[in-house]
Amino acid sequence: MSAPTARVGVGPVGPGPASGPRVPTTRRQGRPWRLGDAVVPLFAALAFLYLLVPIAYTVAFSFNDAGRSNLVWRGFTLANWANPCGAPQVCEALGNSLKVGVIATVVSTALGTLIALALVRYRFRGRALANLLVFLPMSTPEVVLGAALLAQFLSLRVNPGFGTVVAAHVMFCISFVVVTVKARVASLDPRLEEAAADLYSSPWQAFWRVTFPLLVPGILAAALLAFSLSFDDFIITNFNSGSFTTFPKFVYVSATRGIPPQANVIGSAMFALALLLVVSVQLVSVARRRRR
């Protein structure tokens, strides 16, 4: 993949720094240090702390020798990590979340990418309407989406469960995929496809040899976004799941009685996994850049 992945895969942030002219940093060298220079970073540091405190808490309490309810610190243990499925249902819920997340990601990424290509590359009648249809689900609160889907499933006498949850997740992921991929498509130079055609590529070859490889970072970013949205969704799931339980729903339901420490283990592990993934992607791209 090209430069953009280097930016922690933050996705379609344009062609990336490598292709542009080298820009100077804003720090003016040689200017006397002022108190003001420290205020903003200090404030930001506090904000980061705010962001990370509950995660630290979650990780810490995954090592709590808790018994049934994980409310107060009772001593350090590795037992929860050794047996993350120890609490009833927790791994089943996690498995459900992963299953729903993967299916919703694949389907919504495929559908959303196609829409994004159409919206950027073509002018056609009804384009404004298509844009609106993509925008609306994003500007509708989750309760409304959940209630609307439930109203439909009720009136169709569909029993809520795995299927309805997947259907709902695909729906709210599509719009985010479209927006993410769209930005990437829009930042592609259309002349590249023309150059491919000029160099004897059929439209099909031009797409797979040039357009698609250049869209990959954007598509991956969109897929990751879709997965994290699906994996973390509670409200819409709660409306449309019936007795089917996902990980967030499991945590919410058990919150009243006390969350088992195994849930903390799973939350912490997901966090660590995400961290590891992103850091290694970054290290690879830094290393690749060094090598050149």
Partner 1 sequence: MSIVAALGHGPGNGPAPAPVRRARGGAYLLLAPGLAYLGLFFVVPVVALLATSLYVPVPGGDVGQFQPAFEWANYTRALATYWPQMVRSFAYALIATLAALVIAYPMAYVIAVRARGRVFLQGMLLVLVIAPFFTSFILRTVAWKQILADESFVVAAMRAVSLLPPDGRLTATSFAVVAGLTYNFLPFMTLPIYASLERLDPRLVEAGADLYANGPTTFWRVTLPLSMPGVVSGTLLTFIPASGDYVNSVLLGNNTTTMIGQVVDSRFFKVSDYPTAAALSVVLMVAILLLVTAYVRRSGTEELL
Partner 2 sequence: MAALGDPAAATRAPGDEEGGARSGADLTLEHVTKEFGAFTAVDDLELTIPSGSFFALLGPSGCGKTTTLRMVAGLEHPTSGRVLIGGRDVTRTRAHERPVNTVFQSYALFPHLSVVENVAFGLRRRRAPDPLGKARDALELVELPHLADRRPAQLSGGQQQRVALARAIVNNPAVLLLDEPLGALDLKLRRQMQVELKRIQTEVGLTFVHVTHDQEEAMTMADTVAVMNAGRIEQMGSPAELYELPRTAFVANFLGQSNLLRGTVVENGAATLGVDVDGRRVRVPTARSVSTTGTVLVGVRPEKLHLLRAGDQAPESCNVLGPGRVTDVSFSGVSTQYQVHVPGLGTLGVFVQNILGGAGAALGEEVHLACAIKHTFALDGAEDATSGAVRLDARDV
> Within positions 189 to 228, which residues make up the interface with partner 1, using CB under 8 A?
189-190, 218, 221-222, 224-225, 228
Distance, in Å, from the CA atom of 214 to the CA atom of 193, rounded to the nearest integer, reads 11
Nearer to partner 2, 15 or 86 (CB): 15
Nearer to partner 2, 217 or 261 (CB): 217
- Residue 2 binds which entry of partner 1, partner 2, none, CB below 5-8 Å type-dependent: partner 2
State the minimum distance, in angstroms, from the CB of residue 13 to partner 1: 6
Enter the tokens of residue 18. 């490598």
Residue 66 as a binder of partner 1 (CB under 8 A): the answer is no
Residue 268 as a binder of partner 1 (CB under 8 A): the answer is yes
Query: At 156, is the secondary structure helix, strand, or coil?
Result: coil
Nearer to partner 1, 34 or 82 (CB): 34
Distance, in Å, from the CA atom of 209 to the CA atom of 75, rounded to the nearest integer, reads 57
Task: Using the rule CB under 8 A, give the single segment among 51-59, 78-86, 98-106, 205-213 that binds partner 1.
Answer: 51-59
Phi-psi region of 191 (alpha: psi -120 to 50; beta: other; left: phi over 0): alpha
Residue 124, Cβ neighbours under 10 Å: how many?
9
Q: Going residue by residue from 17 to 56, which x/- string records binding to partner 2, judged by CB under 8 A? A: -xx-------------------------------------
At 14, give phi and psi (nearest 5°). 80, -170
Nearer to partner 2, 154 or 195 (CB): 195
Query: At 76, is the secondary structure helix, strand, or coil?
Result: strand
Per CB under 8 A, which of residues 152..171 are in contact with partner 1? Answer: 152, 154-155, 167-168, 170-171
**Which residues lie closer than 8 Å to 177 by C-beta, 6 or more apart?**
108, 109, 111, 112, 113, 116, 222, 223, 225, 226
Residue 286 as a binder of partner 2 (CB under 8 A): the answer is no
State the minimum distance, in angstroms, from the CB of residue 115 to partner 1: 4
Per CB under 8 A, which of residues 167..226 are in contact with partner 2? Answer: 189, 191-192, 194-202, 205-206, 209-210, 213-214
Compute the residue count for the chain: 292
Nearer to partner 1, 44 or 78 (CB): 44
First to last CA, the chain: 15
State the minimum distance, in angstroms, from the CB of residue 124 to partner 2: 17
Residue indicated by tokens 């797409």: 207
State the minimum distance, in angstroms, from the CB of residue 267 to partner 1: 4
Residue 247 as a binder of partner 1 (CB under 8 A): the answer is yes
- Residue 197 binds which entry of partner 1, partner 2, none, CB below 5-8 Å type-dependent: partner 2
Distance, in Å, from the CA atom of 181 to the CA atom of 173, rounded to the nearest integer, reads 12
Distance, in Å, from the CA atom of 182 to the CA atom of 188, rounded to the nearest integer, reads 10
Nearest one of 103, 95, 52 to 250, comparing CA atoms: 95
Query: At 27, is the secondary structure helix, strand, or coil?
Result: coil
Residue 288 as a binder of partner 2 (CB under 8 A): the answer is no
- Residue 85 binds which entry of partner 1, partner 2, none, CB below 5-8 Å type-dependent: none
Nearer to partner 2, 15 or 161 (CB): 15
